Structure 1
Amino acid sequence: MKKIIRTFTGILMGAMVLTACGGESTGSGSSSNALSLYSGVSEDAEKEAIEEIAVAFTEETGISVDVNFPGTGYEDQMRVRMASNDLPDLFDTHGWAINRYGEYTADLSDMDWVEYFDEAMAPILRDEEGKVYAFPINQAKDGIMYNATLLDEYGIDLPTTFDEWVGAMETVKEKSDGEVAPLWIPGSNQYTIAQVLDQLSTPLLVTDENNSFEEELLDGSFDWSNYTPLAEFLKELQEQGLLNTDVLTASEAQRIELMAQNKIAFAFAGGAFGPAVTELNPDIQVGTFPVPAYWEGDEPSWIGGERNTFAAFKDSEKLDEAKQFIEFLAQPENAKKLAEAASLPAGITNVETENYYTEFYDKWAHIQIQPYFDRVYLPSGMWDVYATTGQELLADTLTAEQVSAEMESEYLRLRNQ
């Protein structure tokens, strides 16, 4: 992808900022005295917002910030740096503030912005002793993206249950004569399949009080045959022609263009998806709705919590400066800018945002946010198992029962590591 080069001048900065999609640093200062900052964000708008705020911080304080966006290599770089206890001064915990990065993060509970801590984020950003592990620059509120223009044309009401969702997909298939993919998954990247399975695990296994396995999942006694219906569900969608036929070879790069061409009804995608589609085709409106309920009598769920954050490395030689930068990020105008760049709600309660999905978030404001399933109930490493077993299921190399058996085996192995 292209590199955008911007030059910023000033008495306090005198530095060049490089914006890149790969691992290059893009800082308001690149000297050894600069704060090192690593972020896992991937969208250009989000990168630019972080860079601009870093530049403004340097102008105000004289403290340089070396901004880095490693892209798909982010987690690998962080694992290497954790192994040597040599993390950046500031880094994104991307959903794993406590479970993965907890021992490396400074406690932020004494900072001013904590007065506006959103309690919905507590399970994944604050522990029982009150330690706050990171500052959330936005708040994930994942559901299912949909072509609002197409559903309106076909007279399809938004589903609140799995059965209604399947019915909606069948209507799309029928009314489009098979020209529109009811559910489109770019499965050449196996982690997009993991995303689907992870989000759908919550209504199957957690939210319904009569079918909740929270305790068993947490204590290791979960019977993984209870996961089999989800694998069966995904396979049935494929067999009924409700998934794109190229599900195993389709790429994420195609998704925006196909939605803009009115070729997709439902998709699992990030916040920047809708604005990108409408930019290509202003006649297409992308909406979002919470994940439907699996069990009769249950409610739909938003899936989310922590999306992107900044934590401070507890052993940083510039810890005070790192905390100063986080406090700067939390200023309402900066927090608003960061959240809106991602088309997501802000992570603190004193900031109101306006973004592409505001009307949809408002419509479903009564729906609770559930934390990402794997981050609460599964050991580290299970995301890869979700991905590989899901891909093999769709490739007909594993049955639904074999998927559950593999999930159980890896779940137990990873818990015991």
Structure 2
Amino acid sequence: MKHTFVLFLSLILLVLPGCSAEKSSADTAKKTLTIYSTMSTDSERDTFRKLAAAFEKEHRDIRVSLHFPGNDYENMMRVRMAANDLPDLFDTHGWGKIRYGEYTADLRDMEWTQDLDPNLNSILKNKSGKVYAYPINQAKDGLAYNRNILDRYGINPPETMDDFMKALRTIKEKSKGSIMPFWFAGYDKSSFAQYYDQFATPLLITDPAHNEKKQLTNGTFHWSKFTYLSDILKQMQKEKLINIDAVTAKKSQLIELMAQNKIAFTMQGGTLGQDVAQINPKVKVGIIPTPAIHDGDDPIWIGGERYTLAAWKDSPHVKKAKEFIAFMARPANAKQMAEATSLPSGLTNVKADIFYANDYEHYQEVRVEPYFDRLYLPNGMWDVLGTAGQELAADILTPQEISKKLGREYKRLREQSETQGAEEQ
């Protein structure tokens, strides 16, 4: 009996290493696709993870490794670009051509490009036809607003800055100050940066008589022309048309305040509408294009690519990376991602059931202009715009001083960018 047990144990020991080696060999045979994304909410990430798992089931030889670095994303990607060691797939987060273009594989031969929304052509394609990235969704930023409040006071959604100011004053007067006309979450300086960046386009780009594209591009722009936006913001503050705690208010407060009918307008979009509806279904949140500033000009959407998938051109797994993109571009999968992010799909053959679908349909003829800073400002100016807004609202700098500061930083960051570019060459 003792000999039988020893023999049995010996057989087990002989078999187990074989099983272990077989499993190890199978794991080694798998190719790992590393993906970096800027997705920030749980619903977005969870949907992405589920689709990645479904892809793995279809492709037994591939393992998908997802990474969501959060606020460290840009710095991490800069380091990896400098070392020419990028993930197999990565999110270009608005910088597909300008920042990441030289690192991306050309996707023009992929089937989904036939359905690329023309609004994204100038952002994701170059003149020769190269396609830089697959758009998981697309941004159309404007002003989020409380429909209940505008209906209550007989206010039409504003189409011009004059209309907007009139609406804010009417809300303040008729609500006797109980409703905040325009709310900022300025603790996060991106709230102010978004204001400057979004309204800079109708101020300096879209109206032919006030077009500063050339000057902004070649570095000769006079920043005194930017002062208007600080003047307007300061006027809103003086008239108490924005929240008194604009510099310290946090984004986490927005949903609850909007659900309590205490806010009329805000710059925040994304999942705001559906988040508010979950707390108070009676509150109807809508979104409108960014109002025009100059007489005769039209409202516009500010946007372009939001989340994307670009394939690193030097990846050892470029073919597999493109297979993943093709999987994500299937209409059913593209629809899932668009709905998870509450934004329109980047493909014309995908109709997503998103919260603001009716608003986007209503304003479907309104053109989309790229984010101002992505085309006309050097890298680093977004943070400068945000800090400038905080300093203005905190009475640290005047509108004129803000423009002077922006001019200095614009020049410094342009020179820094040119120096870095020369060193890389």
**1:179 maps to amino acid:** S
**1:213 maps to amino acid:** E
Task: Show the counterpart of 1:48.
Answer: 46
Contact in 2 for aligned 1:43/1:272 (Cα 8 Å): no
Contact in 1 for aligned 2:289/2:299 (Cα 8 Å): yes
Task: Show the counterpart of 1:372.
Answer: 371
Task: Show the counterpart of 1:363.
Answer: 362
CA distance in 1, matches of 2:353, 2:268: 19
Task: Show the counterpart of 2:231.
Answer: 232
Task: Show the counterpart of 1:11.
Answer: none
* TM-score normalised by the chain length of structure 2: 0.89
CA distance in 1, matches of 2:126, 2:378: 18
Encode CA deviations 1:331-386: one digit per residue, 9 max, x unaligned: 11111111111111110111122211011111111211111111111111111111
**2:49 maps to amino acid:** E
Larger of the two Rg values belongs to structure: 2
Which runs of structure 2 are paired with 1:228-377 in the superposition (5 Å)? Answer: 228-377=227-376
Partner-residue secondary structure (3-state), 2:210 = coil
CA distance in 2, matches of 1:41, 1:195: 18
Partner-residue secondary structure (3-state), 1:416 = helix
Partner-residue secondary structure (3-state), 1:67 = strand
CA distance in 2, matches of 1:150, 1:82: 48
Encode CA deviations 1:240-274: one digit per residue, 9 max, x unaligned: 10011100110011011110111110011131111
1:79 aligns with 2:40: no
Which runs of structure 2 are paired with 1:5-404 in the superposition (5 Å)? Answer: 33-62=31-60, 63-404=62-403
Partner-residue secondary structure (3-state), 1:121 = helix
CA distance in 2, matches of 1:109, 1:380: 27
- Give the superposition deviation at 1:120: 1.1
Contact in 1 for aligned 2:335/2:350 (Cα 8 Å): yes
CA distance in 2, matches of 1:273, 1:39: 21
- Give the superposition deviation at 1:129: 2.1
**2:71 maps to amino acid:** T
CA distance in 1, matches of 2:344, 2:70: 23
- Give the superposition deviation at 1:31: 10
What percentage of residue pairs aligned between the two structures are identical? 51
* TM-score normalised by the chain length of structure 1: 0.91
Query: Which one has a larger percent helix, Structure 1 or Structure 2?
Result: 2
Task: Show the counterpart of 1:6.
Answer: none
**1:43 maps to amino acid:** T
CA distance in 2, matches of 1:30, 1:177: 69
- Give the superposition deviation at 1:33: 3.7
Partner-residue secondary structure (3-state), 2:264 = strand
Partner-residue secondary structure (3-state), 1:129 = coil
- Moved beyond 4 Å, runs of 4+: 29-32
Partner-residue secondary structure (3-state), 2:309 = strand
- Give the superposition deviation at 1:32: 8.4
* Unpaired runs of at least 5, structure 2: 1-22, 417-425
- Count of aligned pairs: 390
Residues 339 and 300 (structure 1 numbering): CA distance in 2 closer, same or farther, change over 3 Å?
Answer: same
CA distance in 2, matches of 1:154, 1:381: 41
1:406 aligns with 2:405: yes
Q: Single out whichever of 74-83 and 151-160 deviates more from structure 2.
A: 74-83
**1:191 maps to amino acid:** S
**1:88 maps to amino acid:** P
CA distance in 1, matches of 2:270, 2:145: 12
